[in-house]
Amino acid sequence: MTGPLLAWSDAEGAARAGALFTAAFGAPPDGVWASPGRVNLIGEHVDYNGGLCLPMALPHRTFAAVRRRDDDVVRLVSSLAPDEAWAGTLGGIGPGLVGGWVGYAGGPAWALAQAGHALGGFDAAIDSCVPLGSGLSSSAAVECAVALALDELFVLGLAGSDEGRAALAAACVRAENEVAGAPTGGMDQAASLRATAGHALLLDTVDHSVAQVPFDLTTAGLALLVIDTRAEHALVDGQYAARRAACHAAAARLGVATLREVTDLDAALAALPDPVEQMRVRHVVTEIARVEQFVALVGEGRVREVGPLMDASHESLRVDYEVSCDELDVAVAAARAAGALGARMTGGGFGGSAIALVEAGRADAVAAEVAQAFAERGWRPPGILLASPSPGGARVASP
């Protein structure tokens, strides 16, 4: 399958980021680090509700070429924003001080310093093949690639263990929430840093523990299509924050710390006078249950039976959480009509991507049917990629 969403090899990505760095700063970097985007198999909008989610890392990565400095100066460039190079100091990075892509690229330095780690200045050049605005966590990939570089260059000692990577992920979440101003949960960063090849990552967002869930689609004769609808996708326009606020308000009204603690859904819904809060709670509680069922089926070797859970997840996100859109709904419906075992939107919604579980030999045909459905409506062709469970971030090039 070809198209604009092919992943770069580590060598190609490192070469691209390294060349950008040398052109911008006149000397090569100390190294290149890469961290992947992610696709969430199931468990949407539960990561800020104490829920369970099941993302996996994509082969598509963001590459950060970085060099340590002996002062507190920070210089940042990115091929994704070639006219927006930034230069300042560590003290100039923080909540309310920087915006746009600089918040994602520079924010981890602020968050790590806030966590008590000693850092200095650095130069960084960012390049990426994670599709932007597609709901595949391009922002977290930037944060995590930079965080890995800072961890190694300033000898923080975190990336060598899962516990340390959890701390790096927490710093990246804080950077995204407080510096970039995007109120996202922690699923994206966990997947980007803690995923392993051949596995989905079962993340418990209460205690941030993870379990590696074997996810071997090839043996099952299946493939996972990711369909980038190319519909506008943004999490900083207030819609995501509004849903998060509604969930937190409902939890407070129900007297629980998070909606994960709701064990009697009917009683909870009866106790909520606001119909919008009822809808949001119904989605979260049923979605957490779907994650548990999905993992149980995969663990029993019954991956072919997870399709109805994916379908139900999409319907819940469309009706109760109201985060789908026409393009996502058409992509899901067309994939199902073409024979997908199950399909759903993935990511924050309001645009972005859908996923479809398909017979391996039908991947091209399903992709063509989705593209045809878009063409019939006069929409831009969707981007299509085949996803495979990939490893988390790491250094990919040395000087």
Catalytic residues: 188
DSSP state at residue 131: P
Cβ–Cβ under 8 Å, residues 395 and 63: no
Tokens of 169: 């992920």
Residue (of 168, 143, 185) closest to 40 by Cα position:
185
Match 């130069």 to its residue by tokens. Answer: 123
Q: How far apart are CA 193 and CA 120, in angstroms?
A: 23
Amino acid at 30: D
Amino acid at 338: A
Tokens of 145: 């690639």
Per DSSP, helices labelled H in the chain are: 10-25, 101-114, 138-153, 162-174, 187-194, 217-220, 239-254, 265-270, 275-299, 307-319, 326-337, 363-376
Tokens of 367: 């992709």
Q: CB neighbours (10 Å) of residue 238?
A: 11
163 CB burial (10 A radius; 0-12, 13-18, 19+): exposed
Q: What are the percentages of helix, strand and coil residues in the chain, rounded to 5?
A: 45, 20, 35
Helix/strand/coil for 167: helix
The CA–CA distances, whole Å, from 319 to 214, 228, 313, 324 equal: 31, 21, 10, 8
Cβ–Cβ under 8 Å, residues 352 and 231: yes
What is the residue-wise DSSP string for 335-371? HHHTT-SEEEEESS-SSSEEEEEEEGGGHHHHHHHHH
